[in-house]
Chain A
Amino acid sequence: MRDGVLTEGRPVRWTLLGLTLVFLALFLVLPLAAVFTEALRRGVGVFLEAFADPDTQAAIRLTLLVAAIAVPLNLVFGVSTAWAVAKFEFPGKSLLVTLIDLPFSVSPVVSGLVYVLLFGAKGLLGPLVDDWGFKIIFAVPGIVLATVFVTFPFIARELIPLMHEQGTAEEEAALTLGASGFRTFLTVTLPNVRWALLYGVLLCNARAMGEFGAVSVVSGHIRGLTNTMPLQVEILYNEYNFVGAFAVSTLLAGLALVTLGAKSLLEWRYGDGLARTRRH
């Protein structure tokens, strides 16, 4: 390929590479470094102390709880949706595919507002829910609902192209060999998409833990009760508790790095099963 028609001259290549590196440093590496330096500015002791705050601990617990509910739910929704869309023909399929992308195209704040309008005190279903003595808005169920909505597309989007490309021949082979539909799903469909599925779960989890907009609208910011980690960061920051804010941020940044690392590992190790999903 060297000196081929598709190779630009050396100055062009270096300029492009230089621009990319400067951009990466400025917008990705620098902020990430800032998070860690700010968090550790007054030493490891103060950094660790930030996590002793009961409200911060409550926020971490709530975030883990929300992700622990939202991710499995979306695992089930995502897999069943992808299965239906990729392996079967039915009327309204393209509408369903468009709907899957809705959470991506709608601003998270609007997603949150929708739930307030539905389940809020003056909302459509609000009084009904109130009668049952159940609280959704400004409570944990609302946060879970908003998170499920926002993170819904990740797993389905990851699986649909791969399942579609794999077609239905292997499933048909399993059926002719006597396997039931469910057995076929467990022994053929699921194993064939396992790495893409894991990848989707990682992305879904990262977003579930990091979601700010939608959760902010429905949470009500009740300290120690309805604050997730991103909301806690905002509160600490607004109170000029910079070390606290950045300390919690390091957890979220760490999560991002772990996700990124796992993603690279998956792509490197099981590129076959994933690379195709990149060709959306």
Chain B
Amino acid sequence: MAIAIRAEGLAKSFGGTVAVSGLDLAVEPGELLALLGPSGSGKTTFLRLVAGLESPTAGRILFGDEDATHLSVQDRRVGFVFQHYALFRHLTVAENIAYGLRVRPRRERPSDADIKRRVADLLDLVQLPGLDRRRPAQLSGGQRQRVALARALAVEPRVLLLDEPFGALDAKVRRDLRRWLREVHERTGHTTLFVTHDQEEALELADRVAIFDKGGVEQVGTPDDILDRPATPFVAGFVGEAVRVPVDAAGSWIRIGDHQVRTPGENAAGPAELFVRPGDLVPATDPATAIPARVIAVRRGGAARRAELLLTEGLPAVEIDLPAGHCARKGDVLPVSLATIRLFTSR
């Protein structure tokens, strides 16, 4: 398959601080790729390197077959959307959207009528018709981010780069905009990279997710790959609210504290790490495999009731999702079993 953007051995440091190192990543044309990772993992720096807002210390960036490493930011033709919108505060909404067209050299610049038409089309696309004369200060956060996206789309970018686009918005607006962004992406088909630290957002919105840690990419894959087949302990621990539990592995058995649990496959003998997500534990149906866990806290979150459990004294508390009607209380003993076993042998 053709590649839209490729990073090869990309590195960037600021003074003595390494932000990105030895990063390889291939972006497929037309895909919506989320860059997900903890803060300081280099995802925003990578986005800015792609945009040309930073220049790499080492490595290459290719746009298709063209080496874009030394291409100026103006010549890269990217659409960049900033976390805090970065709308031109002294210009109206229409002037903001038209900016990228108006700064073109005369022979490439569309006529005034064309610019006007393009602005009107984009305002329709971002569902803000009639707001063309407003100033950014007169818009809500969600509206501003829509204008910012329209402005980025106006220059017909080769790639759309969004840096935590919904980071400054409240939860409700975030959800609406997320759905809307997916629709816009399906209509326009731009290759899109977007940075987020919100896993739910990344997993729900993106075609593929790249997990960042310590300046490099840990894993790239579909949300299913990332959730069900984490490639590294970091990914297993980072997504899905997993708790890391130290265990001892031997053959097809692992020992969790005082309890023995059978695993589907064979494991190398020795210490290992078990990653337990709230969905991995279920109330036990077979007493033979049950682990009697002690409930140390119960809280209500959304549709489910979530309990914190101690499998064995001294191990980190794990979580389980129970039906809202479940009557578990603090101090109870709840027999549970592991429905999914995610094990990484320690090196």
Q: Do A and B come from one complex?
A: yes
Which residues in A have their C-beta under 8 angstroms from that of B84? 169
- Judging by beta carbons under 8 Å apart, are B100 and A177 in contact? yes
Does residue B99 face the partner (Cβ distance < 8 Å to A)? yes
Select the stretch in B73-81, B138-146, B217-225 that faces chain A: B73-81
Which residues in B have their C-beta under 8 angstroms from that of A170? 86-89
Residue of B nearest to A183 (CB): B103
Select the stretch in A72-80, A111-119, A184-192, A218-226 that faces chain B: A184-192
Q: Among the listed A178, A191, A192, A194, which residue makes an inter-chain contact with B100, where contact means beta carbons less than 8 Å apart?
A: A178
Q: How many residues of B contact A (CB 8 A)?
A: 27
Does residue B300 face the partner (Cβ distance < 8 Å to A)? no
- Judging by beta carbons under 8 Å apart, are B53 and A177 in contact? no
Min CB gap B48→A, angstroms: 9
A192 to B148, CA, bound (A): 18
A173 with B80: in contact, given A179-B99, A187-B103 (CB under 8 Å)? yes
Residue of B nearest to A180 (CB): B74
- Judging by beta carbons under 8 Å apart, are B53 and A176 in contact? yes
Does residue B117 face the partner (Cβ distance < 8 Å to A)? no
Q: Among the listed B73, B87, B104, B137, which residue makes an inter-chain contact with A176, where contact means beta carbons less than 8 Å apart?
A: B73
- Judging by beta carbons under 8 Å apart, are B86 and A172 in contact? yes
Which residues in B have their C-beta under 8 angstroms from that of A97? none
A176 to B51, CA, bound (A): 7
- Judging by beta carbons under 8 Å apart, are A177 and B155 in contact? yes
Q: Among the listed B82, B99, B151, which residue makes an inter-chain contact with A169, where contact means beta carbons less than 8 Å apart?
A: B82
Which residues in B have their C-beta under 8 angstroms from that of A176? 51-53, 73-74, 76, 78-80, 152
Residues of A in contact with B (beta carbons under 8 Å apart): 169-170, 172-180, 183, 187-188, 191-192, 194, 272
- Judging by beta carbons under 8 Å apart, are A174 and B88 in contact? yes
Q: Which of B78, B84, B86 has the most CB of A within 10 A?
A: B86
- Judging by beta carbons under 8 Å apart, are A173 and B90 in contact? no
A170 to B77, CA, bound (A): 17
Which residues in B have their C-beta under 8 angstroms from that of A174? 88, 99, 103
| Total residue contacts A-B, CB cutoff 8 A | 64
Q: Mark B43-69, 1 if CB is under 8 A from A, else 0.
A: 000000001110000000000000000
A192 to B87, CA, bound (A): 11
Min CB gap A274→B, angstroms: 14
Q: What are 15 A-B interface contacts by the 8 Å CB criterion?
A: A169-B84, A170-B89, A172-B80, A173-B80, A174-B88, A176-B51, A176-B80, A177-B151, A178-B104, A178-B155, A180-B74, A188-B88, A191-B88, A192-B90, A194-B90
A176 to B78, CA, bound (A): 6
Q: Which of A178, A187, A194 has the most CB of B within 10 A?
A: A178
B81-121 residues with Cβ-Cβ distance < 8 A to A are 82, 84, 86-90, 99-100, 103-104
- Judging by beta carbons under 8 Å apart, are A192 and B73 in contact? no
User: Closest 7 interchain pairs by CB?
Assistant: A177-B100, A169-B86, A176-B80, A179-B103, A173-B86, A191-B90, A175-B73
- Judging by beta carbons under 8 Å apart, are B82 and A172 in contact? yes
Which residues in B have their C-beta under 8 angstroms from that of A169? 82, 84, 86
Q: Mark B229-271, 1 if CB is under 8 A from A, else 0.
A: 0000000000000000000000000000000000000000000
Name 4 extra pairs, CB < 8 A, besides A175-B74, A176-B78, A177-B151: A173-B87, A178-B100, A180-B103, A183-B103
Which residues in A have their C-beta under 8 angstroms from that of B154? 177
